[in-house]
Amino acid sequence: MNVDSTFFRIERGGPVARIVMNRPDKANSMTPEFWSDLPRVMAALGRDRTVRCAVISGEGKHFSGGMDLAAFAGIARLFRNESGRAAFAMRELILSLQDAFTAIERAPFPVIAAIHGACIGGAIDLITACDIRVASADATFAVEEINIGMAADVGTLQRLPKLIAPSVAAELCFSGRRFDAAEAKAIGLVSAVHADRDRLMDAADALARSIAEKSPLAIAGIKRNLAYARDHGVADGLDYIATWNGGFLRPEDLMAAVQAKMAKATATFADLLDEPKLG
């Protein structure tokens, strides 16, 4: 599938999509093209029912240095206007930027963040929207926004405390200090640390391929219910999964999985259906 983007390079390895931030000369800093391309890329991949997992990574020495500081020039110009209208426009801009990362959560397949080098500022917002995070030993992290006099506003403050201990999240956000891959693993931000970028990418690809072998209907259900459980209480989450499986659990995938396990083989599952067109 051809997904056009000026910021990302999209590669396919069978059912696995590789979404590569491709501005290595700028440490993959998030230019305006990043913000417009990411939701479009995720939507296009989401419509391609042959995509069963994705890996997002950065070309060059770093995962991403976060927001391109040149973008702040446009924001500064905005506030030359009448204050109330400028504030309204600023809120609309922030909501649009937030939606770029929420697009990752809307995808019906898991997204793995493969992090090496710097993962700073907006890059933390990005990885916290992903389903799985793995890193190389040289990765460094920072919730950088406090160091430029602002509160992170596109997802870190909302998602990070659901991924790690709230007190640890608060300390990282208040201090803006850098921390390494070993600490990221210790606090639960990443699930694995690999020796270098090559081993990281091999491991992320192997994990993605193993996920892609599973029932895409079951995987979509797991992703949706994990997100629902994060944002709701236990009773609501239990009710939601009961309704979900009551509606979507089918014998075909169950039997295929059981028979493959008994035969010590790999099960084959049908892709999800395309959305029907009106008219």
Q: Dump pLDDT digits (tens) for 206-263.
A: 999 999 999 999 999 999 999 999 999 999 999 999 999 999 888 888 888 889 888 9
If one counts every other C-beta atom within 10 angstroms of the C-beta of residue 233, the result is 9
Please compute Rg for the chain using Cα positions: 20
Nearest to 190 by CA among 181, 198, 199: 181
Q: Dump pLDDT digits (tens) for 58-115.
A: 999 999 999 998 777 778 888 888 899 999 999 999 999 999 999 999 999 999 999 9
75-79's contacts with Cβ under 8 Å and 24+ in sequence apart are none
Please determine, looking at this structure, whether the domain spanning 216-262 carries the CATH number 1.10.287.130: no
- Tell me the whole-structure pTM to 2 decimals: 0.94
Please determine, looking at this structure, whether the domain spanning 8-212 carries the CATH number 1.10.540.10: no
Residue 81 burial (CB < 10 Å; 0-12/13-18/19+)? exposed
Listed by start position, the domains of the chain span 8-212, 216-262
Half-sphere exposure of 232 (CA within 13 A, CB side): 14
